[in-house]
Structure 1
Amino acid sequence: MTTPTLLERFAEQVAAHPRAVALRHTGTSVTYRELDEWSGRLAARLTAKGTGPGSLVALAAQRGPAAVAGVLAVLKTGAAYLGLDPAIPVRRQRRMVEETGPHCVLAEPGLDQFPTLDAPRVTLAPLAEGPLHQAPEQEPDEDALFHIVYTSGTTGNPKGVRISHRSVRGRLEWMWQDHPFPENAVLAVQKSLALVASPWELLGGLLKGVPSVVLATDELLDPVLFAAAVEQERITHLFLTPQLIAGLLQESAERPGGHRPVLVTSGADTLPVDTVLRFREVWPDTTLLNLYGMTETASNVAAYDTARLPAGAERVPVGSPVAGASLSVRDRLGRRLPAGVTGEVWVCGPPLALGYVGGDGEDRFITDDAGVLHYRTGDRGRRLPDSVLEITGRADNQIKVRGYRVELEEIEATLRKAPDVTDAGAYAENEDGETRIVACVTAGEETGAAALRAYLRDRLPDYMMPARIQQVPQLPLSTNGKLDRTALRALVAGIGQERAAGFAPSDATETAVAALWQELLGAPPASADQNFFDAGGHSLLAVRLANRLATTAGRRVPLRRILGAPTVTAIAALCREIQQEEQI
């Protein structure tokens, strides 16, 4: 019996449950029939612009129902898509578009940032009328391109990974078969459509008749709102980073007897043992899977049920192969290593990507002596006695920051192009379980960290921004002439953090805000109007700031208000305003 295509599965749900809710988002809902007609009208407009099998559509959308409608519309035409996240700097988006040369742009209003691209446009907005797309005579084959996903690259530019229908379908089919949805299941959608794991959230529940709840940005940044959304929407299935799991557990522990998910999957970063143990305490009946994979393998190729984690374990294994993948541990010559011996992890099988856009980095894809194509992950790992895989580290300078892959070489290459900078080096440090990037530069003259941070913010996504930028006399090199990151870390530690001299708190509230600022960022504010994010802050640190300000303000400070005015004086004024409200 032939396995139904993705579009056939969607059509089955539309026919069986046309009035059932397909998507919910910020108090609104979209039924299967509405989503089918919306995506069908978009597909008709795309087709009228010449989009079809073999085409690539630049799809620019916020996380929401429009993103799902856009993906379905592209699939209905037989084309592939390049997902563009509005949170990514425009310069970076434009480079992706220039490199891939999409045939058409499908963008929500205000998100078409490509004025020089000579390609037709279709606006990604609800359509109440217009022709519906007619199903193509032939579906794309398994090796056809499904989407292109960009990830950090070692050459100084992001790398585009070409992912096939076969890879995406295999990931979906594995989850549907091994972890079928129970009755009354609800799936959370919280990933950008530009991420490799997004097809599971966008289509995993949708194609099985399971309503999907698209979470708002505020709900993802704020653990209190996140936990409330999970409770209110009765969400049963979540695919989260370890950091989001930890925040959700903290809030859920304060709501004993509340709603509990059925399945939580963790991926994109190392899952700490402590988080697994805490998970067992808070949600003892919920399954927590630790997943392993990368962009070049269309998301996940191994899974481990953390209920199996033995007492006293030092690491959480990534488990056994899934989705048809085959994993092996090999030495530097490509020879297989026995269980217990550490080497590089290789992956082969259906999940493998088609390759990179432009061929950059193709040496990662290698054919072994048996003629089988593998992807060399760069991860160091070993097989445990029970045959499950454990990851022990990296063989290169790739790191994970808040679940995102970051190549330190890309940050360095970007900094070298900044005005007056002659060279750059970067390293990562771990503080309170969080990875922080420290960047160092040499320059012809004194270069301010604020100016360099502004330069980077225009070119790199938020998660790649260094927590600290330090000018040094010269970068230490190893005997082979390469950057010595260990010596660089020691050099920066000897310099110490730059101390601010221009800020004097005017009252106890500003003093309290400044103290929290220094606690979170490692240095006091340089001035009353210094921007929290220009000082090295990011979204998760802003959440912590909001939480800890509750003691000063008398109740929790709204995160949105902090993001709107992230300076010491503005935050202190907000605290005073809340204090006065509490006294009334």
Structure 2
Amino acid sequence: MTSTEHPVFVSLPEEQRELIAAVNGVVAPVPAGTLDSLGAAAVVAGPHEVALRDLWDVVTRGRFWDHVVDLAGQLSAAGVKPGDRVLLDVAAGWEQFAAAVAVLRAGCVCVPLPPPGAGTDAGRRAAPTGSGATVVVTQRGLSGRPTWPSEVTVLTPRRDPPAAAASVDPPASDGSRAAFLLPRPAPAGTVAAWLGYSHRVLLNALTEVNRRVGLGVADRVLALAPAESGTWLHETFGALLAGASVVCAAENHRHDPGSWLAQGRRDGVTVCFLTTAMLDDLLAHLARTGDPLPETLRAVVVHGGWLAPGRVVELWEAAGRGLTVLYATAPVWPGPLTVLYDVATVADDWRSVPVGAPVANQRLYVLSEARNPCPVWVTGRLYAGGLLGEPVPAVSGGTVTHPETGEALLPTDLFGRLRPDGLVEVVGDETTQLAARGGTVNLRDTEVALHTHPAVRQAVVVVSAVDGRAAAFVRPRDGVVLSAADLNTYLRTRVSPFLLPARTEIVGALPLTRDGRVDRVALAAGPDVVVPLVVTPPTPTPAAPSGDRTTELMLRVTAVASRIFDVADIEPDANLMDLGASSMQLVRLASVVEEEAGIAVDVEELLAFPTIAVIVGSHLATESPAPAPDTVRPVGAARDDLDHRPVVDLGGVADERIGRRRTSRAFAAQPVSLAALGALLGATRSIRSRGAEKFWYPSAGGSYPVQVYLLVTPGGVTGLAAGSYYYHPRQDRLIVLDPAGALPAAAHREINRAAFRQSAFSLYLVGRMSAISKTDYADLAWDFTVFEAGAMTQLLGQVAAEHGLGLCPVGAMDTDPLPDLFALGAQDRFVHALLGGVPLGTA
């Protein structure tokens, strides 16, 4: 309800009133129509263009729209009327997006639900009553969870809609009707409120973010957010409106940066939206593994928390190139991103990155407790106005009125201040307000101070709901030992005594909400939600070996490192990171040293001990006699912690073939015989046995979607011309695809390029997703495809060793050249590659 309170208005100096008016005075035409109608226009413009990709399918705009129109028709046939609320209970992926568009196409309000489990069941059970929904759209395989009330109509989209599905004419609208109703979670998995957003509000926000990012038809947007998050609307509907394609991440990959980085590289992602917590995880992953960002990535939209300037600098350094960073804020959560700041540079005196200013047609005010406008630099609560304050038909509001203009405003949970340059800074939220000496202090200052400590990766300070005192949760950088006492000593010289935490926890990970934000409410409720830190004792740095061979290699590696790091001279034991080297530069050093000096570098060891001595010492160790069996360093994740339990000795003899299996990263300049290559490929052929077709490895539902493609280098295989081929498993034949087919070394990651250049041939395992998507295993199509490729890789490795061949597995590369090289279809997906040849030293 709109508040009837009208506090006494306190006027500001004229220049500050003009500044506030300028900040909120940007006006632009609001796109006419609805999300679905403008989406339909994008489909008509390019029906054969790719609209979405997920881990198991590639969907064109035309096929996507067939599903939209068909489900909209189902809704109409079921008696659903425009304005009705429809629950969306579909697993993450392209079908979820298609179902959401169909709900809007039928003129209804879409109400996305989180999946069962993970503390969401209470909210799901109450969703029909709380949201006023009478229909749920679900998915085959999901319809049994939960049991919906009898008065709720359950619809399941058809998997293969007819080509000429009847269209549903959407009701005429100026965009003011409700489009989405988003749940705002409360503790115990319930819903605190349902926030409604009109087509008009969402179109304005999506097009403004698209404009600032420069989103267009050449872009591929990684969709990581859950459907009940406002960010998901930008990742999906925003991309559709701009003509870009969407790359849908799997539900269980949302908080795993390694997984979505690999997907981003495979699918050529150009734009992604990351919360500040996800950015922290990404930066930690890059520093720990040396894993590169996708070369295609050009823009990152950061949201969902305060942004430390150091995070932006670290991201730019990891990219090693120009990368657009847009800092975006949803004043009312969950909701669209309506406050933006283009981070072009980071000032030395910034404590945090400002959130910027509202987009066109939106307004943002800093008001005091009495709801008077706050002067510049004075902290107050943030209120959102403009389109966000407009009433949404059939959706109750929670607005108050502006004391001077009388416009409707939405109160936010954020506290901030206006700077003289017209930018707004967020300085805290409800969880950071601590009562002290009859007033309130802001614990965000403590967080900011903790983030300036060089050993801190992530820090959150909240007011404990248990005792009302400040509690700090600090995640150190990898490999750093940090104590609460150290941090408290550090803070005493940087913050007021009132801001010192009563308790400081050193943690391994912080709890996250489903959309990837730090769950501050959970932290305030108690410390049992954090992941404890497991400290691994540091491994001593190996000493540099001595001798003439050592000196020779030291000089060669030093010359390469000096060139890459632009340093005149480097001592063997000098820490390369102290000289300014980044983890990405260390990975490049490993690749160049391998290519130019013939030294295989253990990248993980180099990242742990970044010295030239480690590179040379590790290489010389491989040239020395093999260590005695009892001195071999164990590898893998075997459960040695169970050795105290009773055992049963199997008394078996190890298969000698285990010792012959190895990964070859260097190949001799010698051609492979056609007979050896034929034997290798023959491991993947099929035969007729007892009236059935049999392979040497299993496949889900007997679908065998993984196909083998071959690329031969000039002179690589005796009696076989260079070019690209398809291996036909039933015919045991190579089918010529492109006699001039070739692949640039740049298509492979830098660390694999030397091996690719030396290889005589390379194999590419490609999944034909159409073969498995129509089986009973469709929901796990990609998982089973990867499993099958793994079985094939193991088999190929074993057969290669038996025929004197070596293979180098490659899991990530630029796949854009592959469709033309191997005549692939829209539903063919790269899974794995193997570089092959005669191993160096065995020729």
Instruction: Return the TM-score normalized by structure 1.
Output: 0.68
**Contact 1:368–1:374 (CA<8 Å) still a contact in 2?**
no
Amino acid at match of 2:348: A
Deviation at 1:127, TM superposition (A): 3.1
**Contact 2:380–2:415 (CA<8 Å) still a contact in 1?**
yes
The answer to whether structure 1 residue 99 and structure 2 residue 130 are counterparts is: yes
Deviation at 1:11, TM superposition (A): 2.2
Distance 1:157 1:215 in 2: 25
CA deviations over 1:307-335 (Å, ceiling 9, x no partner): 23212311111011114211121211111
Counterpart position of 2:157 = 124
Counterpart position of 2:99 = 70
1:279 is aligned, of 315, 319, 328, to 315
1:368 is aligned, of 403, 406, 412, to 403
1:343 is aligned, of 369, 374, 380, to 380
CA deviations over 1:11-34 (Å, ceiling 9, x no partner): 223223222111111131111111
**Contact 2:201–2:388 (CA<8 Å) still a contact in 1?**
yes
Distance 1:303 1:274 in 2: 19
Q: Aligned with 2:416: secondary structure?
A: strand
Counterpart position of 1:81 = 110
Amino acid at match of 2:238: G
Largest Rg, 1 or 2: 2
Q: Note the aligned Cα RMSD (angstroms).
A: 4.4
**Contact 1:25–1:215 (CA<8 Å) still a contact in 2?**
yes
Distance 2:518 2:329 in 1: 24
* Compared CA separation, residues 311 and 90, structure 1 to 2 (3 A): same
Q: Aligned with 1:54: secondary structure?
A: coil
Q: Which runs of 5+ in 1 are unaligned?
A: 413-422, 435-456, 471-491, 498-515, 522-546, 573-579
* Compared CA separation, residues 408 and 134, structure 1 to 2 (3 A): farther
Distance 1:33 1:394 in 2: 44
Q: Aligned with 2:388: secondary structure?
A: coil
Distance 1:517 1:143 in 2: 45
**Contact 2:384–2:410 (CA<8 Å) still a contact in 1?**
yes
Deviation at 1:396, TM superposition (A): 5.6
The answer to whether structure 1 residue 554 and structure 2 residue 635 are counterparts is: yes
Amino acid at match of 1:335: N
The answer to whether structure 1 residue 264 and structure 2 residue 300 are counterparts is: yes
Amino acid at match of 1:200: H
**Contact 2:34–2:173 (CA<8 Å) still a contact in 1?**
no
Distance 1:121 1:187 in 2: 31
CA deviations over 1:252-294 (Å, ceiling 9, x no partner): 5625685141110111112222211201212240111111124
The answer to whether structure 1 residue 145 and structure 2 residue 178 are counterparts is: yes
**Contact 2:32–2:175 (CA<8 Å) still a contact in 1?**
no
* Compared CA separation, residues 117 and 317, structure 1 to 2 (3 A): farther
Counterpart position of 2:69 = 40
**Contact 2:213–2:326 (CA<8 Å) still a contact in 1?**
no
Amino acid at match of 1:371: G
* Compared CA separation, residues 332 and 119, structure 1 to 2 (3 A): same
Aligned pairs for 1:316-331 within 5 A = 316-331=353-368
Aligned pairs for 1:117-266 within 5 A = 117-129=150-162, 132-136=165-169, 138-153=171-186, 157-182=191-216, 184-252=218-286, 254-255=290-291, 259-266=295-302
Moved more, 2-11 or 57-66: 2-11
The answer to whether structure 1 residue 7 and structure 2 residue 44 are counterparts is: no
* Compared CA separation, residues 67 and 258, structure 1 to 2 (3 A): closer
* Compared CA separation, residues 183 and 267, structure 1 to 2 (3 A): same
* Compared CA separation, residues 209 and 370, structure 1 to 2 (3 A): closer
**Contact 1:43–1:133 (CA<8 Å) still a contact in 2?**
no
**Contact 1:185–1:237 (CA<8 Å) still a contact in 2?**
yes
Deviation at 1:80, TM superposition (A): 0.7
Distance 1:70 1:93 in 2: 18
Amino acid at match of 2:129: E
* Compared CA separation, residues 217 and 33, structure 1 to 2 (3 A): same
The answer to whether structure 1 residue 384 and structure 2 residue 384 are counterparts is: no
Distance 2:65 2:110 in 1: 18
Counterpart position of 2:21 = none
Counterpart position of 1:50 = 79
CA deviations over 1:515-559 (Å, ceiling 9, x no partner): x985259xxxxxxxxxxxxxxxxxxxxxxxxx9xx999835x7xx
Q: Aligned with 1:307: secondary structure?
A: coil
Instruction: Name the count of aligned residue pairs.
Output: 459
Distance 1:337 1:82 in 2: 37
Distance 1:170 1:433 in 2: 40
Distance 2:519 2:335 in 1: 21
CA deviations over 1:385-408 (Å, ceiling 9, x no partner): 2111101112566999xx9x9x99
CA deviations over 1:426-471 (Å, ceiling 9, x no partner): 976332289xxxxxxxxxxxxxxxxxxxxxx9xxx9958957987x
CA deviations over 1:31-78 (Å, ceiling 9, x no partner): 111111111111111111112311110110111011111011101101
**Contact 2:276–2:307 (CA<8 Å) still a contact in 1?**
yes
Deviation at 1:239, TM superposition (A): 0.7
Counterpart position of 1:20 = 49
Distance 2:400 2:414 in 1: 14
CA deviations over 1:160-207 (Å, ceiling 9, x no partner): 111111111111121233332256311111111111221111211123
**Contact 2:87–2:136 (CA<8 Å) still a contact in 1?**
yes
**Contact 1:196–1:295 (CA<8 Å) still a contact in 2?**
no
* Compared CA separation, residues 34 and 252, structure 1 to 2 (3 A): same
Distance 1:277 1:258 in 2: 18
Amino acid at match of 2:335: A
**Contact 2:34–2:199 (CA<8 Å) still a contact in 1?**
no
**Contact 1:288–1:305 (CA<8 Å) still a contact in 2?**
yes
* Compared CA separation, residues 349 and 428, structure 1 to 2 (3 A): farther
Moved more, 200-209 or 289-298: 289-298
Distance 1:16 1:325 in 2: 30
Deviation at 1:342, TM superposition (A): 1.5
2:327 is aligned, of 274, 290, 294, to 290
**Contact 2:184–2:191 (CA<8 Å) still a contact in 1?**
no
Distance 1:198 1:329 in 2: 28
Q: Aligned with 1:158: secondary structure?
A: strand
* Compared CA separation, residues 141 and 344, structure 1 to 2 (3 A): same
Q: Which runs of 5+ in 2 are unaligned?
A: 1-28, 434-442, 445-457, 478-512, 536-603, 609-632, 646-654, 662-843
Counterpart position of 1:309 = 346
Distance 2:279 2:660 in 1: 35
The answer to whether structure 1 residue 432 and structure 2 residue 463 are counterparts is: no
Amino acid at match of 2:475: D
* Compared CA separation, residues 82 and 144, structure 1 to 2 (3 A): same
**Contact 2:431–2:520 (CA<8 Å) still a contact in 1?**
no
* Compared CA separation, residues 222 and 392, structure 1 to 2 (3 A): same
* Compared CA separation, residues 351 and 553, structure 1 to 2 (3 A): farther
Distance 2:35 2:303 in 1: 24
* Compared CA separation, residues 569 and 34, structure 1 to 2 (3 A): farther
* Compared CA separation, residues 119 and 315, structure 1 to 2 (3 A): same
Q: Aligned with 2:230: secondary structure?
A: coil
Deviation at 1:114, TM superposition (A): 3.9
